[in-house]
Amino acid sequence: MELRPLGRSGIDVPKLCVGSNVFGWTADETASFRILDAFAEAGLTFIDTADVYSSWVPGNSGGESEAIIGRWMKERGNRGGIILATKVGSEMGPGRKGLSRGYIRSAVEDSLRRLQTDVIDLYQSHRDDPETPQEETLGAYGDLIREGKVRAIGASNFTRERLESSLAISARHGLPRYESLQPLYNLHDRSDYETGLEAYCRREEVGVIPYYGLASGFLTGKYRSEADFGKSQRGGRMDKYLDARGRRILEALDHVSERYGANPARVALAWLMARPGLTAPIASATSVEQVRDLVASTELDLDEDAVSTLDRASSGP
């Protein structure tokens, strides 16, 4: 499996990152173990989670995904071969959110316990916290790195301005810098990343690990009419994608898929992997069959004509 550098962290990761927001939600523990086994056997050992996954499920309180991953690593005895990323900052309950020094210190211990590990490879700010000085947040991360509890840090859902200011503070004060950015980015959702963040991240060597690589499943081609919205729990989100532009993108995906003997999901992820400066898109699976599709996407190299076809279809309104 091809490895790519994660910013300047010294950590090399596979070209596809395993998303785990489905663990404890649409995939129970047994299914999650099977999915993780299939990914690991294929060499996809970069796993992204968050402390808040999957608190939105009735009866859950957050931490379910981390706990499942922790039990899986313990049972398999494979922690040393896994590149483990998690996040802090989203609300876990009253008074339990943000990027203050005190909260980060508390939250990291909870994540380490659930993950059953001594160190997190990539600890990410899940979302910006404008109420906490960035110096305080980065200083807290610096303490964790010195203590050996975290190897590198990343940011998620940051604007260009806030990422730029944080990197400037890191350089000015000798604090750890965000080595990765996790933005919303896929063949359909392009403008925010490409207009404000892409050139900056490439220039500053910030790794990019975008989420929603398949636009909540829209780019699999499964949702082509309102009648298809009931095919999954995510179907209700599809109305924002299924417009003239969305249909144009699906048509282009079909065209390229036919040419390569692949399916739309593989092509959509291969397009992301071909994007200059992009480290590894995040994609999740709820079955071993879906894992096979995701693995196959890492073996699909699109030529310039295929990339141009998809670029043209997805550009503009």
Q: Tell me the domains of the chain and their CATH numbers.
A: 3-182 (3.20.20.100)
| pLDDT score, position 236 | 56
Judge whether residue 231 has pLDDT over 70: no
- Asked if residue 55 has a cis previous peptide bond (ω within 30° of 0), the answer is no
Judge whether residue 66 has pLDDT over 70: yes
Angle at which helix 64-76 crosses helix 101-115, to 10 degrees, equals 40
Comparing 237 with 27, the larger pLDDT belongs to 27
Burial class (CB in 10 A: 0-12, 13-18, 19+), 70: buried
Judge whether residue 11 has pLDDT over 70: yes
pTM, two decimal places: 0.95
When the pLDDT of each residue in the chain is averaged and rounded to a whole number, the result is 95
pLDDT one-digit tens code per residue, 108-134: 999 999 999 999 999 999 999 999 999
| Cross-strand partners of 46 | 83
pLDDT one-digit tens code per residue, 16-60: 999 999 999 999 999 999 999 999 999 999 999 999 999 999 999
User: Given pLDDT bands bounded at 50, 70 and 90, which one contains residue 240?
Assistant: confident
Q: Calculate mean pLDDT across residues 81-104.
A: 96
User: Given pLDDT bands bounded at 50, 70 and 90, which one contains residue 235?
Assistant: low
User: Given pLDDT bands bounded at 50, 70 and 90, which one contains residue 232?
Assistant: low
Q: Running DSSP on this structure, what letter comes out for residue 196?
A: I
DSSP letter string over 151-189?
Answer: EEEEEES--HHHHHHHHHHHHHHT---EEEEE-B-SSSS
In the chain, % of residues over pLDDT 90? 91
Q: Which residues contact 244 (CB under 8 A, 6 or more apart)?
A: none
- Residue 256: C-alpha distances to residues 259, 265, 301 (Å): 5, 11, 12
Q: Calculate mean pLDDT across residues 172-182.
A: 98
DSSP β-ladder status, 150-156 and 120-125: parallel
- The sheet carrying 83-88 orders its strands as 207-208, 178-182, 150-156, 120-125, 83-88, 46-48, 17-19, 282-283
Judge whether residue 230 has pLDDT over 80: no
How far apart CA 312 and CA 158 sit, in angstroms, is 27
Burial class (CB in 10 A: 0-12, 13-18, 19+), 308: exposed
User: Given pLDDT bands bounded at 50, 70 and 90, which one contains residue 258?
Assistant: very high
User: Given pLDDT bands bounded at 50, 70 and 90, which one contains residue 175?
Assistant: very high
> Annotated active-site positions, please?
53
Judge whether residue 1 has pLDDT over 80: no
